[in-house]
Amino acid sequence: MFLATHAEVLLRELKNSLVIDREGKVVFASSFFCDLVHIDFKKAGGKSFFDFIFPEDTETVTTQLEDSKRRQASPFLLKLKRSDGAPVWTEFQGFPIESASGEVYAMTAVVTLASIAR
């Protein structure tokens, strides 16, 4: 029950949020993100974040995520891959989630539609 309640709060309060663990798996995806990539909310958790990235963008995205873990990244344009293979341009900014000892164990990200048409 706690998880369902917690997820409902996250959906309401963190509309554009995505949480990715250190292995690149989606821990939480907001309904907004799920709508962007055309995936059911219940199927998003546990998927690799890279399932939503075009292969040619993998290296760039990996570098940006690493920079985000070190708090060195600015928001960047990210072309997500919808479940039907179509692209959707977004603005993405990641923020590290750290343990009390300072170890990064996950990242929360804010994903919005890009204001620039591509």
Here the CATH number for the domain that contains residue 52 is 3.30.450.20
In this prediction, residue 2 has a pLDDT band, given cuts at 50, 70 and 90, of very low
Residue 65 forms part of a structural domain: yes
Query: What residue numbers bound the domain in which 48 lies?
Result: 2-113
Residue 27 forms part of a structural domain: yes
- Reported as a single tens digit per residue, the pLDDT across 8-46 is 655 555 788 899 988 889 999 998 999 999 999 889 999
Concatenate the DSSP letters of all residues of 15-55 into one string.
TTEEEEETTSBEEEE-HHHHHHHT--HHHHTTSBGGGGB-G
Residue 118 forms part of a structural domain: no
Residue 96 forms part of a structural domain: yes
Residue 43 forms part of a structural domain: yes
The backbone torsions φ and ψ at residue 45, rounded to the nearest 5 degrees and listed phi first, read -60, 130
3-state secondary structure of 103: coil
- Reported as a single tens digit per residue, the pLDDT across 42-86 is 899 999 999 999 999 888 888 877 777 777 667 888 899 999 999
3-state secondary structure of 79: strand
pLDDT at 1 over 80: no
Residue 106 forms part of a structural domain: yes
**What is the count of structural domains for the chain?**
1
